[in-house]
Structure 1
Amino acid sequence: MVRLSTIALGLLCGLSNVLGVVADTATLTDPAIDGPVAVGFPTVNITAILAEAENELGVNGTITDNLPDENYGAPGTTITARDLEKLQLRKRTFGRQVCGAIACVSLKLLFPSKTATAGSNNYNQWNNPSFWSATTYMTPTCVFRPTSVEDISLAMKIIMLTQSDFNVVGGGHSAIKGWANTEEGVLIILSGLTGINIKSGYAEVATGERWGKFFTELDKYKLMALGGRMSTVGVPGLILGGGISYLTNQLGFAADQVKNFQVVLANGWVVNANANANADLFRALKGGSSNFGIVTRIDLYTWPCPKGVYSGQLYFSDTRDYPKMFDAVYKYHTSGALTDVQTHLISAFVYAPIPGVGPMHMGAFTAFRNISASETNPGPGPALQEIVDLNPNTKAGSTLQVRPYGTQAIELGAGDVSGLRQDMRDFSVYADNQLYKDLFQIWNTTMIPKHGNKVGFMGTIAFQPITTTAVAAGIARGGNSLGLEGNTKTMAIINLTHQWVSAADDASIIASLDEVLTKSIALAKSRGLYHPYFYLNYARKQDNPIGSYGTASVNRLKAASKFYDPCRAFQCQVPGGFKIPGLSC
C-alpha cells in the first residue's frame, strides 16, 4: 500500500518548509492514478502575507513571531511525534474573530478576486444563495471561492497557521445550521471548482459540480454512474455521506463506486486516496463525511447504458389506494428488489398544497429500471409492475418512459425548492408491512392537523430500502464506513422532509417532528424492528450518524483522523458537521 511518508506525517499540523519562503515544489505520486500531483508554491512568501495582514489589522506578532524557521521539515530531517507538540503555534488566545480576520485579510491579499468580505457584491452572491435551506444562513467573516486545487492548498496553509474557523460547502443541500457554513472565519465554497473528464471505465468530476451536469455529460457517451437522484444536489456531500443512488440496489452506495478521491489535507498537502494509495483514508471517506480533508475531485466508475433506462414518477391522489400501496412497497422491498437488482423505487407519501386545488395527500413514487442491452421491449419488469398497475388513471398520467439515464435526476430535481425553511431527518427499521402503515399514521396524525395550514408547509415521509444485495456490493468493493456488513435482511431508511416559510413556525414544527421521531423509533423498538443506522445525509443534528456505524467503523475513522489530521483541524476548527465520536479538541 502506498502511504504518506514519515516526513509527510510530520508536516500534517500545517507546517513545513512551505511556511516561510516556499521551497521547491514537491510531488506525491500514486501509481493507480494518471500522473503525479504537484504541491507547493515556490513564489508565495506566506510569512510576508501574514505579516501584512496582521499589520493591516493592528495585531502584529499574533502569528508571524511564532513561525518556525524555513527549513523545518525539509527533506532529510527527522520528524517525531513529540515534535507535533511544538507546532501548536497559538491556543486561540486572541479569539475567533481575530483568527478569522487574519485568515480573511491574508486570503484577500493573495486572492483578491476569489475572496469576498461582508457587504461586497460577491459576498452576497456567494454566501447564502449557495444554500438550499434558509435555516442554514450565516455570516462568515469572508467567503473564499477557489477555482483550483492549488488555491485550496494554499488557503489551508493560511487557515492552519491562523487557527481560524472555517467550513466548506459543495452543493449546500443540508437543512442544519452550521453544517456547511460558519458564523466566524472562512467559508470555502467549491462552486468555482468545476470540470468533468470522461476516462476509460471512470469519470473525474470536480467537487464544485452538481449531479445534473455530471449526468448530462455521461448521457452523451451513453454511460451512467452512481450519484445523486436529484440534479440540484452537490457532488461531494452526497458521496461523503454514503450516497443512495438509482443504482444502489445493484451496485451499493454511491461511495462504493468511487475509484479515487483527491484530497487537500489540513496542512495543504494534496493526496490521492484509493485502493492502493492511502487505503485507510479511502475507506474512511466512504461515509465518514468531511472529517479528514477537503475533497477536490472524485473519480467514479462508469457503467454502459446503451439503451437508457425505464423510469418516471407516478402520483397517486386517491388515498383509498394507500393500503394497496404499502402492500406493494413492502413486497418490492423484500422480494422485487432482490429478484430484479437493476430496479429502484422511492416511495413517498406527501402532504402538499396544490395551486388552484388546495391541500392534497398523495403517494409520489419514482420508479427506475436499468435496461439491459438485450431487451427489445423495455418496461418496468415484474418487480415494479405491481406499483405501476396500482391505479390505471395514475399510470396514464405518469412520466414513465424510456429515457437517457441523467434525465430522471433532472426531472426529480426540477421540483426542488431553495430558500425555504427546511428540515430533514431519518431513522431505520427492518422491512415490515404493518410497521410501514403505522409509521405513516404517526406522521400523518401528528404533523398534518397541527401544521397543514401554515404558510408554505409541505411534508413528506418516504420509505427507501437497503437490501442485502446493496450491502454485499459495498463489501465487494473493499468496504465502506457505514457499518452495515452484518445485515441479513432488507432494512428501510425512513426519511422525513418538511418545508415552510416563516421562521416563527420553526419551534412548533420541529417539536412535532421530534415527537414523530420519538414515537416512531419507540414503536419499531417495541416490535424488534428498529435498526440503529442513521443515514448521514438525512440525519438531524443530534442523531450522531457516525456513531451509529458501530465500534469497528468508528475506531477506523478515529485512526484515519489521527493520522491524516493530527491537529484535529476538521474536528475543532470546523464548527459544524457530524464529527467522529471520541475525538476531543
Structure 2
Amino acid sequence: MVRLSTIALGLVYGLSNVLGVVADTATLTDPAIDGAVNVGFPTVNITAVLAEAENELGVNGTVTDNLPADYGAPGTTISARDLEKLQELRKRTFGNTVFGAIACLSLKILFPSKTAAVGSSNYAQWNNPSFWSSTTYMTPMCVFRPVSADDISCAMRIIALSQTDFNVVGGGHSAIKGWANAEDGVLIILSGLTGVKIKSGYAEVSTGERWGNVFTALDQNKLMALGGRMSTVGVPGLVLGGGISYLSNNWGFVADQVKNFEVVLANGWVVNANAGANADLFRALKGGSSNFGIVTRVDLYTWPCTKGVYSGQLYFADTRDYPKMFDAVYNYHTVGALQDTQTHLISAFVYVGALGMHMGAFTAFRNVSVPDGGPALKEVLEINPAVTNSSTLQVRPYGTQAIELGSGDMNGLRQDMRDFSVYADKELYKELFQIWNTTMIPKHGSKTGFMGTIAFQPITIKAVAAGVARGGNSLGLEGNTKTMGIINLTHQWADPSHDAAILASLDEIMTASIARAKARNAYHPYFYLNYARKQDNPIGSYGTASVNRLKIVSKYYDPCGIFQDRVPGGFKIPGL
C-alpha cells in the first residue's frame, strides 16, 4: 500500500481516466477528515469472474473477448475507449437480459451471501419491502446488498464492463417508478451499510442508515446535525437532493452541512470529496443527486445539544381556524423565520378520507431548551389555545421530533409526491389551497386509503446564504432576495385502479396552481428535487451556471456516462 500526497493522488486518478491505468490501492492523509483513508479499489480479477459467469451461461466471450488483454491484471482498469467498444458490441448482439445475467452471476460468484436472484428468500426480503410506495415495485434480475465500499467498488467494475442497467436504493422514499429500482438489471440496496461514528465536530454516517437511527445516536451523545425531518427517510437520497432540516433556517440545506462524501465512482475507485479534495465533485453532490457515483458515507457537521429543543405537533381540526392559520404561515415565512433563525415550521393542510376530515397538521420547532416558541412562533401558538395545550410541544431530545413525525409513515400504499415553488404571498397561499381542496377532495376524498396533503415550507434568504458560506451547492438559489415557499403535494391511496384518475387531477392542480402563481408574478422556477415529480426536471431548474458545472463534473468523474446511461431512473443532468 502506497502513501500518496493529494497532488500525487490527483495525478494518478487523472491518468486513470485517460490511460485506463491506476494504482491498486493507496492511502491518503486528508486534512479535511480524520486520519488516513483508503482510495482506489480492491484487487479482484474481474475478468476471471466475468469469464466464469459467461461460461456457466453459455455465452462465452460476450464481454471478456472485448476487454484489453491485460485487464484482469492488478493495477488496470477500463478506459472510455474500451467501454465505447462494449457499447457497440451490446447494440449488435444482446439485450439487457443477457448482460444483466452476466452481471448477476458474476456478483453471485464473488459475493454469494450478498447477491439474491429472483425466487430466493433474500430477494423477497430485500426487494419490494424496502420501498415506501407500491408504485415503485419492479423486478430486478438480482439484488445486491453490499456491506462496504469495497463491495460496491467490485460491483461497479462488473456492472461497467457488463453494460447492464442498474439502480441504487437507500431508504427508498420515492414514489416514482424506476427511480430507485431496476427492471431486469441489478438493484444495489445500501441497507447493509450501517453505522454512525461520532468524531470531533462531525459524525460519519453510513448511507444504509435512516434518519431515525442517526438521530438516536446523536441524542445519545448530546449532539445535533442537519438531517431529515422524518425518521423513516433514508440518508443518501435526502442529502443528494439538497435536504430540508429543522435547522435549515439557520444552517441551510442538509447538503450544506456535509463535511465529506465517500463515493464509489463508475470505474470502481473509492474517493473522498470535500472542500480540500475533489472539491468540484463535493459541490456537485450537494443537490446533484445520483449522477456521479454511489455515496457510501456522509460526514455531517455536529453541534452540542445538551438540554434538548422545544418542538412538537399541533393538530387543528376546526376549519374555522384556517384563516388565522394562513395569516400565521405567511407572517412566519416573511418575518418570523428571518427574526429567529433557530425556528422551523412545517405547515400542512390534510384531508383524511377515512374520517372525512380536514385537519391542519403543523410541526413547530425552536432550538432552545425552554418551553418558549419566541416571537417567531407566537402567532402560530396563539391560533387556538386549546390546540396548543393538547399539542405534543415539549422540551425534548433533538432526534425525537423526527421519530414522532415518522411514526405514522408506512410502506406499501400508492403514493405520489410533487412540488413547485413560489415567492411568499398570503393571498396566493390561500388560492393554492382552494385549487387543491376543490379539485382533489370532491373527486377522490372517499376513495379507499385516500389521504391528501398540501404543505407550505419556507426557504429564506438566510438559509440560502448559509449554503453560500459553506462554499455553495448545486441548487442555484444564490441571489434570492426574498422568502420562497415550496408547495408540496403528497397523496396516498390503496387501489391501483385509481392511479390514472388521481394523477390526472394532480396534474390539473399543478397546471392551475403554477398559472395562478405566474399571474401574481410570484412563481419561482425551482423544483425541490426530493419532492419533484418525474416530468419536472428539477436539476434543470437550478439554472444554466449550475447545470454547466454539473456537466463538467460528470464528464470528468464518469467519462463513460455510466450513471447517465446505465441507470434508467433518477433525475439526470440535462444536455448530457
Q: Structure 1 residue 74: deviation in Å?
A: 8.3
Alignment-derived partner of residue 11 in structure 1: 16
Report what 1:149 is aligned to. Answer: 149
Letter of the 2:229 counterpart: R
Using the alignment, how far apart are the partners of 2:114 and 2:457 within structure 1? 40
* Residue 298 (structure 1) aligns with: 298
1:20 corresponds in structure 2 to none
Preserved CA contact (<8 Å) 2:136 2:181: yes
Question: Offset at 1:402?
Answer: 0.4
Aligned partner (choices 498, 504, 520) of residue 505 of structure 1: 498
Distance 2:83 2:20 in 1: 7
Matched, 1:88 2:93: no
The reply to whether residue 39 of structure 1 matches residue 40 of structure 2 is: yes
Q: What's the offset of the Cα at 1:12?
A: 4.3
Instruction: Report the alpha carbon displacement of residue 36 of structure 1 after superposing the two structures with TM.
Output: 2.5
Cα deviation digits, residues 531-580 of structure 1 (max 9, x gap): 00000000000000000000000000000000000000000000000000
- Structure 2, unaligned stretches of length 5 or more? none
Matched, 1:462 2:450: no
Alignment check: 8 A CA contact 2:68 2:82 kept: no
1:504 to partner: Cα distance: 0.2
Q: Is the 8 A contact 2:24 2:74 kept in 1?
A: no
Secondary structure of the residue aligned to 2:86 is coil
Q: Map residues 25-424 of structure 1 onto 2, 5 A cutoff.
A: 25-34=25-34, 35-42=36-43, 44-70=44-70, 84-91=80-87, 92-93=90-91, 94-353=94-353, 358-371=355-368, 377-424=370-417
For 2:467, give the aligned amino acid: G
Asked if 1:438 is matched to 2:439, the reply is: no
Instruction: Using structure 2 for the length normalisation, give the TM-score.
Output: 0.95
- Residue 545 of structure 2 aligns with an amino acid whose one-letter code is A
2:508 is paired with a residue of what secondary structure?
Answer: helix
Cα 1:32–1:447, aligned 2, differ >3 Å: closer, same or farther? same
Q: Which amino acid aligns with 1:59?
A: V
Partner Cα distance (1:85, 1:65) in 2: 15
Q: Secondary structure at the match of 2:399?
A: helix
Aligned residues: CA RMSD: 1.9
2:322 partner amino acid = Y
Other structure's SS at 1:88 match: helix
Q: Equivalents in 2 of 1:24, 1:123: separation in Å?
A: 33
**Hey, what's the Cα distance between the residues in 2 that align with 1:39 and 1:491?**
42
**Count of residues paired in the alignment:** 566
Cα–Cα, structure 1 residues 411 and 290, in superposed 2: closer, same or farther, change >3 Å? same
Report the Cα distance in structure 1 between the residues aligned to 2:107 and 2:73, rounded to whole angstroms.
Answer: 24
1:574 matched to 2:570:
no
Contact 2:102–2:162 (CA under 8 A) maintained in structure 1:
yes
SS in 2 for 1:267: coil
Superposed CA offset, 1:35-57 (max 9, x none): 13143333x32111111100111
The residue identity in structure 1 corresponding to 2:138 is M
Please report how far the alpha carbon of residue 11 of structure 1 lies from its aligned counterpart in structure 2 after TM superposition. 3.1
1:447 shift after superposition: 0.2
User: Shift in Å at residue 417 of structure 1?
Assistant: 1.7
Judged with a 3 Å threshold, the aligned counterparts in structure 2 of structure 1 residues 135 and 299 are, in CA distance, closer, same or farther, namely same
Q: Distance in 2 between matches of 1:237 and 1:283?
A: 16
Deviation (angstroms), 1:6: 4.2
How far off is 1:392 after superposition?
A: 1.8
> C-alpha displacement at 1:86, in angstroms?
4.0
3-state DSSP class of the match of 2:337?
helix
Q: Report the secondary structure of 2:80's partner residue.
A: helix
Specify the alignment match of 1:546 in structure 2.
539
Percent identity of equivalent pairs: 75
- Contact 2:47/2:72 (8 A) holds in 1: no
Distance change in 2, residues 1:15/1:64 (3 Å): farther
> Is the 1:423–1:499 Cα contact (8 Å) retained in structure 2?
yes
8 A Cα contact 1:172 1:234, kept in partner: yes
Letter in 2 for 1:146: P
Indicate if the aligned counterparts of 2:6 and 2:28 stay in contact, CA closer than 8 A: no
Q: Does 1:492 align with 2:521?
A: no
What code does the residue aligned with 1:368 have?
A: F
Compared CA separation, residues 550 and 98, structure 1 to 2 (3 A): same
Q: Which amino acid aligns with 1:371?
A: V
Cα displacement (A) at 1:29: 4.8
Structure 2 CA distance, aligned partners of 1:307 and 1:110? 48
Structure 1 stretches of 4+ with a deviation exceeding 4 A read 1-4, 12-17, 71-75
Shift of 1:7: 3.8
**In 1: Cα distance, 2:269 partner to 2:180 partner:** 22
Give the TM-score, by structure 1 length.
Answer: 0.94
SS in 2 for 1:517: helix
Letter in 1 for 2:180: A
C-alpha deviation, 1:348, in angstroms: 0.2
The alpha carbon displacement at 1:367 in A equals 0.2
Distance 2:393 2:227 in 1: 21
1:88 Cα offset (Å) = 2.4
Unaligned runs of 5+ in 1: 18-22
* DSSP 3-state at the match of 1:408: helix
* Secondary structure in 1 matching 2:573: coil
